Structure 1
Amino acid sequence: MTQITPDQILAQMRQLTQAAQSQTSNPVAGSANSSFTDAMSSALKTVNQYQMEASNAANSIERGDGGVSLVKAMIASQKSSVAFDAAVQVRNRVVSAYQDIMNMPL
């Protein structure tokens, strides 16, 4: 079983920070829109992938196949649940921001 250490999390955060800083400091509005769209699309594809893996693992357990353990199926299920909850929270924040912008006086 692989354990995630705080050092691994910090290393990933540093890599993401460096990647964000390496982008141009003054992006064109079209490319910013494109990068947001690409990021959301990528995140939703990842959520879908996690849900498919969890579904396949659950089906394998139900059929009694020996290839997947109950522990791995539960981990896949929890990973899928956390990813979906995060996607819903991002959607809620985007909708809230949109509503705030639409309610601003001109």
Structure 2
Amino acid sequence: MDVKADSLYQEMQAMIGQARLQTSATPEIQANPGAAGEFSTMLKSAIDGVNDMQMNSKSMQHSFEMGDPSLSLADVMLAKEKAGIAFEATVQVRNKVLDAYKQIMNMPV
């Protein structure tokens, strides 16, 4: 099984670059009241992407178990690992957001 960590890293860097381009188009969040809507849209699309990866992985697993000759075990395992990594990253982002929220709520006013 030939897993390319570099290609996954490059995909992540490309996503970061796209996110930076989107944020550089609106440099002042406070001056843009629609930024909250854009953030929620971006967050929803990211979560939907992770969900799609998990659903695709599950359908590939089911097809492989049913004997689909077009799927190899390596393809199924790669899809499963990508979905797992994406889910773990989503959980880590959620944890960081919750930590930031707790810190903000504990700040003295």
Shorter chain as denominator, the TM-score bin is 0.7 to 0.9
* Aligned counterpart, 1:12: 14
- TM-score for the superposition, normalised by structure 2: 0.79
- TM-score for the superposition, normalised by structure 1: 0.81
RMSD: 2.7
Query: Residues 83-98 of structure 1 correspond to what in structure 2 (within 5 A)?
Result: 83-98=86-101
Query: Is the alpha carbon distance of 1:85 and 1:4 closer, same or farther for their aligned partners in structure 2, counting shifts above 3 Å?
Result: closer
Structure 2 CA distance for aligned equivalents of residues 52 and 13 of structure 1: 21
* Aligned counterpart, 2:56: 53
Gaps in structure 2 of 5+ consecutive residues: none
Deviation, 1:29, is 5.1
Secondary structure of the structure 2 residue equivalent to 1:51: helix
Gaps in structure 1 of 5+ consecutive residues: none
Query: Is the alpha carbon distance of 1:97 and 1:29 closer, same or farther for their aligned partners in structure 2, counting shifts above 3 Å?
Result: farther
Contact 1:47 1:83 (C-alpha < 8 Å) held by counterparts: yes
Query: Is the alpha carbon distance of 1:100 and 1:82 closer, same or farther for their aligned partners in structure 2, counting shifts above 3 Å?
Result: same
Q: Could you list the runs of 4 or more consecutive aligned residues of structure 1 that deviate by over 4 angstroms after TM superposition?
A: 1-6
Structure 2 CA distance for aligned equivalents of residues 96 and 33 of structure 1: 19
Deviation, 1:36, is 1.5
Note the alpha carbon deviations across 1:36-60, whole angstroms, 9 max, x for none. Answer: 1111101101000100110011101
How many residue pairs match? The answer is 104
Identity %: 34
